[in-house]
């Protein structure tokens, strides 16, 4: 009797322990935000526990009910789910997949585990269903950020490069070709600065939305950055040829874009095109070539398309080389000055000189000013170069003045970028004071192009310089935009007639009429005249006859170093 009581007590204790364990396991399951399905192979029974109703609105009571799972998920997940639920057919012990529910759009992680006996036959199956929507949403966001541009929804630069690389790899295998269109919105910086960055972003979005409509399996489109887009085309032909795509872009740009404010804005783009394998042998080179060609299109007047040409790349690489050397030259002030004399037409006496910068690179090769000056203006190096030219010229002039006491004019060319510097006038005054040179002995030359961006600001500065006593000369007259309209409002002393007139003044009657009219008009306005590019006795005689005040050119004097100007001054004084 005591043995039976002992066994009953033991069974009771074991039962209580099992109840506690079961309670604990159920509590764990129910608080895990998961649902579980247990299948017993020997008995063919199914049991579901934990948060089953959270995932499914049906019960699973036998193996045939497994088919109901397939109606719950999106179609593309049916086959993977079937394989995951019955991995024992492949002898697998476990697997995990993610599926998306059809109605709730919930992401569910399905984990299946199989227990096998010693003979290798399955005995138990546990399938766990876990809500991973939040995790997958975060993952989707990270994936989106990795592949797409947030502002436009187009591919971002990094992913575009990867996709374009696939195009190039495929083209190598199939002997095909790949085109890249590098697109830049013209004058975007002005729009962004003038209308604000919010409007600027909307412009980028609207154009990006339009471009997205052109995408397909063989056309990938990216928003590179700011106002730049890139289109990659595999085997461009027919409707996906470069010309066909550009035509669609051009036709869209003929109509304005309507902003959310109701404002309508017209856009234009500059497009550069390069193709593999003609332009480049790899992805990054292909993009770089298209970008270089785009800059060529922009420099040709904007709103244009430019196709790759070897000479464009060669010019670009040459400019890059010059720019690199120029930075070193600016740092070392590795320049020298030449001066071209100007003469009074009546007696051929020396009026003054025009200062001209000269630069030889480290190899001794002379690089023309018309090559490196535009590069310096583009990258901002023209400011230190211009300051050096002004100070070096005034320094040399001061030495001539002390040595010879000959009254003459030092003419200096000044870039528009220099004029726009807030301390420009102060620098000019400081240099003149430093070398004790009178403002009346200095003439600053401006071109008409300097007046286009901000006529009033430049004119005000010129007036201040002229009040100080500095002479102002309008260079290259007749080659600009509206020369006559500028004359009435400009504070100038001298007008230089461009060489293009002098070249044909003897042979072309129309040129003679224009030249004579300019000189007559300028004299009436009280300005002094200088004819540039005078190279023959015949040109000189004609200019003398029509009362041009001064001449400059190879006929009487080419650009020369300071010591030759000294010899010319000595000859004049003799």
Over 70: is that where the pLDDT of 126 sits? yes
SS3 151: coil
In the predicted model, what is the mean pLDDT of residues 185-189?
Answer: 90
- Looking at domain 148-308, its CATH superfamily turns out to be Reverse transcriptase/Diguanylate cyclase domain (3.30.70.270)
Give the list of residues 6+ apart from residue 197 with CB closer than 8 angstroms, or none: none
Query: Nearest CA to 172 among 273, 271, 308, 286?
Result: 286
**Pairing status of strand 528-532 against strand 550-552:** parallel
Write down how long the chain is.
574
Delimiting residues of CATH 3.30.70.270 domain(s) in the chain: 148-308
269-324 pLDDT per residue, tens: 999 999 999 988 899 999 999 998 898 888 888 889 999 887 777 777 777 777 77
Q: Which CATH architecture has domain 20-133?
A: 2-Layer Sandwich (3.30)
What percent of the chain shows pLDDT beyond 70? 89
**Pairing status of strand 228-234 against strand 107-116:** unpaired
In the predicted model, what is the mean pLDDT of residues 164-187?
Answer: 94
327-345 pLDDT per residue, tens: 777 776 778 899 999 999 9
Indicate the DSSP class of residue 336: E
Give the list of residues 6+ apart from residue 385 with CB closer than 8 angstroms, or none: 330, 335, 357, 376
* pLDDT category of residue 146 using cuts at 50, 70 and 90: low
Over 90: is that where the pLDDT of 84 sits? yes
Over 70: is that where the pLDDT of 181 sits? yes
**pLDDT score of 447:** 79
In the predicted model, what is the mean pLDDT of residues 405-423?
Answer: 90
Average pLDDT, the chain: 87
The residue with tokens 């030495």 is 399
Output the CA–CA distances (angstroms, integers) from residue 355 to 135, 201, 437, 563, in the order listed: 71, 46, 16, 14
Measured distance CA(188)–CA(190) in Å, rounded: 5
What Rg do the C-alpha atoms of the chain give, in angstroms? 41
> Are residues 384 and 417 in contact, defined by beta-carbon separation less than 8 angstroms?
no
Q: What is the value of pTM for the model shown?
A: 0.59
Over 50: is that where the pLDDT of 185 sits? yes
**Pairing status of strand 94-100 against strand 122-131:** unpaired
Indicate the DSSP class of residue 560: B
> Are residues 233 and 178 in contact, defined by beta-carbon separation less than 8 angstroms?
yes
How is residue 76 written in tokens? 């593309």
**pLDDT score of 12:** 64
In the predicted model, what is the mean pLDDT of residues 12-25?
Answer: 60
Measured distance CA(136)–CA(150) in Å, rounded: 19
CATH of domain 325-573: 3.20.20.450
Over 70: is that where the pLDDT of 1 sits? no
Delimiting residues of CATH 3.30.450.20 domain(s) in the chain: 20-133
Q: What are phi and psi of 9, to 5 degrees?
A: -60, -40
Order the strands of the 305-307 sheet from edge to edge: 219-225, 228-234, 178-185, 269-276, 305-307
Query: Nearest CA to 475 among 531, 437, 522?
Result: 531
Range from 191-200, 293-302, 445-454 carrying the lowest mean pLDDT: 445-454
How is residue 189 written in tokens? 């910086």
How is residue 108 written in tokens? 């569910």
Delimiting residues of CATH 3.20.20.450 domain(s) in the chain: 325-573
**pLDDT score of 453:** 62
**Max avg pLDDT among 301-315, 374-388, 539-553:** 539-553
> Are residues 168 and 285 in contact, defined by beta-carbon separation less than 8 angstroms?
no
Measured distance CA(455)–CA(531) in Å, rounded: 25
Over 60: is that where the pLDDT of 28 sits? no
């Amino acid at each position: 009797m005591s043995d039976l009581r002992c066994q009953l007590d033991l069974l009771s204790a074991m039962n209580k322990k099992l109840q506690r364990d079961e309670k604990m396991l159920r509590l764990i399951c129910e608080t895990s935000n998961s649902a579980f399905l247990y299948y017993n192979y020997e008995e063919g029974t199914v049991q579901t526990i934990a948060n089953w109703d959270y995932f499914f609105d049906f019960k699973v009571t036998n193996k045939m009910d497994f088919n109901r799972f397939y109606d719950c998920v999106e179609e593309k997940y049916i086959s993977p789910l079937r394989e995951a639920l019955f991995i024992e057919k492949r002898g697998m012990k476990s697997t995990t997949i993610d599926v998306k529910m059809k109605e709730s759009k919930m992401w569910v992680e399905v984990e299946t585990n199989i227990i096998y006996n010693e003979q290798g036959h399955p005995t138990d199956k546990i399938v766990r269903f876990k809500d991973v929507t939040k995790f997958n949403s975060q993952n989707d966001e990270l994936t989106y950020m990795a592949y797409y541009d947030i502002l436009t929804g187009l591919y971002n630069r990094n992913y575009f490069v990867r996709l374009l690389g696939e195009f190039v790899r495929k083209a190598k295998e199939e002997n095909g070709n790949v085109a890249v269109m590098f697109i830049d919105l013209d004058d975007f910086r002005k729009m962004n600065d003038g209308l604000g960055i919010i409007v600027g972003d909307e412009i980028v979005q609207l154009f990006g939305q339009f471009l997205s409509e052109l995408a397909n399996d063989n056309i990938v489109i990216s928003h590179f950055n700011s106002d730049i887009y890139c289109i990659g085309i595999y085997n461009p032909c027919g409707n996906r040829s470069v010309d066909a795509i550009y035509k669609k872009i051009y036709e869209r740009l003929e109509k304005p874009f309507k902003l959310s404010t109701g404002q309508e804005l017209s856009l234009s783009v500059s497009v550069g095109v390069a193709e593999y394998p003609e332009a480049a042998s790899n992805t990054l080179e292909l993009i770089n070539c298209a970008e270089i060609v785009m800059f060529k299109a922009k420099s040709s007047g904007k709103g244009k398309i430019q196709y790759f040409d070897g000479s464009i790349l060669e010019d670009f690489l040459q400019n890059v080389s010059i720019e690199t050397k120029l930075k070193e030259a600016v740092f070392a002030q590795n320049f020298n000055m030449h001066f071209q004399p100007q003469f009074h037409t009546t007696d051929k006496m020396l009026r003054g000189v025009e200062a001209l910068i000269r630069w030889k690179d480290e190899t001794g090769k002379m690089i023309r000013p018309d090559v490196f000056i535009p590069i310096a203006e583009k990258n901002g190096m023209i400011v230190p170069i211009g300051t050096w030219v002004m100070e070096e010229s005034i320094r040399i002039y001061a030495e001539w003045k002390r040595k010879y006491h000959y009254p003459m004019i030092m003419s200096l060319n000044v870039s528009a970028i220099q004029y726009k510097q807030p301390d420009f006038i102060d620098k000019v005054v400081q240099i003149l004071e430093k070398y004790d040179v009178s403002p009346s002995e200095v003439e600053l030359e401006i071109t008409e192009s300097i007046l286009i961006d901000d006529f009033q600001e430049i004119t005000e500065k010129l007036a201040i310089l002229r009040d100080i006593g500095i002479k102002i000369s309008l260079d290259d007259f007749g080659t600009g935009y509206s020369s006559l309209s500028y004359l009435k409002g400009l504070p100038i002393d001298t007008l230089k007639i461009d060489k293009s007139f002098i070249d044909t003044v003897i042979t072309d009657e129309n040129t003679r009429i224009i030249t004579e009219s300019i000189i007559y008009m300028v004299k009436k306005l009280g300005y002094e005249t200088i004819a540039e590019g005078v190279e023959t006795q015949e040109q000189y005689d004609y200019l003398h006859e029509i009362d041009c005040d001064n001449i400059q050119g190879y006929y009487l004097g080419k650009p020369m170093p300071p010591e030759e100007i000294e010899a010319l001054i000595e000859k004049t004084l003799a």
